[in-house]
Chain A
């Protein structure tokens, strides 16, 4: 993978999530979530289905009403800034035959020049350069609905980091990507981590990859049950109890 712009992580930025809570009516989905995220680190959020992982993503993006706050701090001089977030969803709403090319997709999100007018040369070249970062430049004129899961993920990644976010929020793809694709996905994000000045939060469903790549693991179930290094979390009694019951659930369902 040839990443062009190489910006070393500065180690001075951090993102603090304080007492974050989300409720839908009477139902409490998240409460008292406290996270401290350093730039240049890959933070994996794990937990069983319904633990509030995707709600956490929406809360960080301010897509749902929340309690608590999110701070973005420069520890060098203590100044707060606006936090720019790049977000990569699990999938997007594109069905078969949608008349949308990769150029249309990215230009719609990132530029004002209307995509229904003849292609703008400058924008086209800019998008191409961004796609090159992920070896996806040749996809620019492809129809989005014809991309493979891995290709789409690369396009969405380049779109997410285009405006140099300080936090990259990723929902790990669950379908349409084979084992090689997953390997590539994780390699790409660990490369991003060390070569861009950003922190990464990854919602993950695959404990094997988390074990291999994450710097910090957060076990979530309504609130943070346990967080720390891979070793600390994976060997904790909380981890055992959450994932033990999940295997039983699975066993009951399949039995």
Chain B
């Protein structure tokens, strides 16, 4: 007989649970706007740029590569924003080019001297290794995101519906675009160690995309996105403990199942 609470006996599991309870609601909120603004490519590229950020830190001999990662990601996000606002060529192509280029540079630097295995953990992430102090960082960003969301969501939503109309209503379009990009960059970078480069975008997009399948207004959209995100996070953690599978991929598998279920349900409606 399996003891269903035995996993909570371990400190690292309790920390992991706390981290998931903070990260998944954040991802659920941001995801709603990333999907609205069709920025899936953008956040994906941002996730990949983490490798370059680490590489930059290594080159400059930094102890803590999180700082170089965050700085690089913010610069990268602003650059992508600037490029896509000048719609000269199709945005997804440009973003892909920049993303592959930065990943290549990152990989080239990190693999120099055959040392890449040291960094490969960041590809899948390891939520079980999170420390109490790192959880406090997440709490800080959680609180600021909630505040930003309360103050700025209407603006972001209006801009995603029609930029020029938003402008005619005196909404600071460019400023909000940049603030949002910076926020996404920050959150992606601060959680990428636990979630992993390969699956972070799935966690951002899947809950919101699933909620979109079955929601008729913004309240339902947010509520379902939150529920799906937290549910896949917690269930993914528990299942990964009992099946001995990496946590991140397990969460994504559950989130994907929810997506397909809501897709089928939404079509029937």
Q: A: which residues have CB within 8 A of B?
A: 57-58, 61-63, 85-87, 89, 92-94, 97-101, 103-105, 107-119, 141, 143, 159, 163, 169
A-B contact count (CB 8 A): 92
Q: B: which residues have CB within 8 A of A?
A: 32, 36, 149-151, 153-155, 157-158, 160-169, 171, 211-213, 215-222, 266
Q: Cβ of A61 and Cβ of B154 under 8 Å apart? A: no
Q: Cβ of A104 and Cβ of B167 under 8 Å apart? A: no
Q: Cβ of A108 and Cβ of B154 under 8 Å apart? A: yes
State in angstroms the CA–CA spacing of A63 and B245 once bound together: 52
State in angstroms the CA–CA spacing of A103 and B219 once bound together: 11
Partner of B165, one of A87, A104, A112: A87
Q: Cβ of A118 and Cβ of B164 under 8 Å apart? A: no
Q: Cβ of B154 and Cβ of A107 under 8 Å apart? A: yes
Q: Cβ of A104 and Cβ of B169 under 8 Å apart? A: no
State in angstroms the CA–CA spacing of A93 and B158 once bound together: 11
Q: Cβ of B167 and Cβ of A61 under 8 Å apart? A: yes
Which residue of A94, A98, A107, A141 has the most chain B CB atoms within 10 A of its CB atom? Answer: A98
State in angstroms the CA–CA spacing of A118 and B220 once bound together: 10
Q: Cβ of A143 and Cβ of B216 under 8 Å apart? A: yes
Nearest CB on B from A199, distance (A): 15
Partner of B217, one of A57, A89, A100, A113: A100
Decide: A100 near B212, CB < 8 A? Known: A61-B168, A87-B165, A114-B154.
no
State in angstroms the CA–CA spacing of A92 and B165 once bound together: 9
- Interchain Cβ contacts under 8 Å between A and B, 11 examples: A61-B168, A89-B162, A98-B36, A98-B212, A99-B217, A99-B220, A101-B217, A116-B153, A116-B219, A116-B221, A159-B165
Nearest CB on B from A183, distance (A): 25
**Across-interface contacts of A99 in B (CB, < 8 A):** 211-212, 215-218, 220-221
